[in-house]
Amino acid sequence: MLHIPINEQGWGLFTQLVRNLVRSEVGGKAVAWFTLLTLLMFGVNGLNVLASYVGRDFMTAIADRDTTTYLHEAAIYLGVFAASTVVAVLIRYAEESLGILWRQWMTRRFVELYLQYPTYYRMNDAVIRNSGMEHPDQRIADDVRNFTTTTLSFTLMLMNGLFTIIAFSGVLWRISPTLFIVA
């Protein structure tokens, strides 16, 4: 498998790859899916913040033995969880759709590059047997799938973590600016 180091050169190759995707015939769709994913992540983080406030009010109603407020907050809690579930499903769908789009584009591009230069003519049987690479096109497809899945998943986890930190930092600031600074 191709090993690209995580350094300035590797980052440059990655940004060039993303730039080529954005400028390609499927670039508009890719940008739209990524934008939708970003908006949905903002939405789910907003719902998480809302759930924290609703949870606070819900627990306060239980502690105060206030049945009316308890039932009201329970209904809101249920609605927030339902909305969060729908948004989480949409995030998964958008992530998979973007991943498939990126993987198809990248596989097609790499196979075209592989076939463009007659490398396959220079591969003799001994090289193929010793490397275990009987079907280079399949190997390209597998490596691209691994790369796109891992990269997209890592990027989205990083973004979601950043959005969560920002959202709950706002909650902490609202509770107490001093507590936010100390934390």
Count of CA atoms in the C-beta half-sphere (13 A) of 107 = 20
The 8 Å CB, 24+ separation contacts for 171-175 are: 171/49, 171/52, 171/53
Domain extent at residue 149: 27-182
> Is 86 part of a structural domain of the chain?
yes
* 144-175 pLDDT per residue, tens: 999 999 999 999 999 999 999 999 999 999 99
* 109-135 pLDDT per residue, tens: 988 888 887 666 666 555 556 666 667
Per the structure, the count of domains in the chain is 1
> Is 45 part of a structural domain of the chain?
yes
**CA distances from residue 86 to 9, 46, 76, 90, 94 in whole angstroms, order as listed:** 40, 14, 15, 6, 12
> Is 15 part of a structural domain of the chain?
no
Residue type, 138: Q
Overall average pLDDT of the 21-25 stretch: 95
> Is 14 part of a structural domain of the chain?
no
- At 129 the pLDDT is 61
The C-alpha atoms of residue 111 and residue 106 are separated, in whole angstroms, by 8
- At 22 the pLDDT is 95
- At 114 the pLDDT is 80
> Is 9 part of a structural domain of the chain?
no
pLDDT confidence band for 2 (50 / 70 / 90): low
User: 66-75, 90-99, 105-114: lowest mean pLDDT where?
Assistant: 105-114
Overall average pLDDT of the 61-83 stretch: 96
Q: Given a cut of 60, is residue 35 above it in pLDDT? A: yes
> Is 1 part of a structural domain of the chain?
no
Q: The dihedral of CA 136, 138, 143, 144: what is its sign? A: positive
> Is 178 part of a structural domain of the chain?
yes
Mean model confidence pLDDT for the chain: 89
- Reported pTM: 0.83
> Is 20 part of a structural domain of the chain?
no
DSSP 61-103: HHHHT-HHHHHHHHHHHHHHHHHHHHHHHHHHHHHHHHHHHHH
Backbone φ and ψ of 89, nearest 5°: -65, -40
